[in-house]
Each structure stands twice: as C-alpha cells, then as structure tokens.
Amino acid sequence: MKDYRKAKKWVDVSVGESVRILRELQGLSQNELSELTGIPQSTISAIENDRVNLGVDRAKILARALKCHPAVLVFPGWDVSEESAA
C-alpha cells in the first residue's frame, strides 16, 4: 500500500451537471426522467442548467430514479478529507 496516491479532483461539477451526467450515463432523456419522477421536463432542464435549486425533496426523487444516493447529486465534488460536514 505504500504506492497509494490520493485521487486528484480533475473537474468541478455543478449540481445541475451531476444530474445531467447521471441521466445521460443511464441513457435517459429529460422526458423519460420526467416520466419516472413526476418532475416536469422543464424543471429538469432548469435544474440541469442551474437555474433552479435542486432541493432535498427533488434530490431524493431524482436519486431514486437515477439509482444513486441523494448526496451524489446535492454535493458533487465533495472532498471529505478537506471539508467538515459539522
């Protein structure tokens, strides 16, 4: 394990970008994600373009549909070693 190197952060990702990336990786259109979540397609577009805050409730709904933990959407790029949640 002495060859271990800490991973570097390569890019900053916004909340909206994290939603879009996960949606696209799963091959979903905004319309398909809208059908899965009940969130209007226009709201999904606004979230992805960082015009609307995601919010806890929407994060839970989207995370369930995108099969990830809500924290992945709400805190993209969170570095536990550098920041404290408290």
Query: Left, alpha or beta for 85 (phi > 0: left; psi -120 to 50: alpha)?
Result: alpha
Domains, the chain, ranges and CATH?
A: 15-74 (1.10.260.40)
Taking only the tens of pLDDT, the chain with its 86 residues reads: 567 666 666 668 899 999 999 999 999 999 999 999 999 999 999 999 999 999 899 999 999 999 999 988 888 766 655 555 55
The pTM assigned to this predicted structure is: 0.77
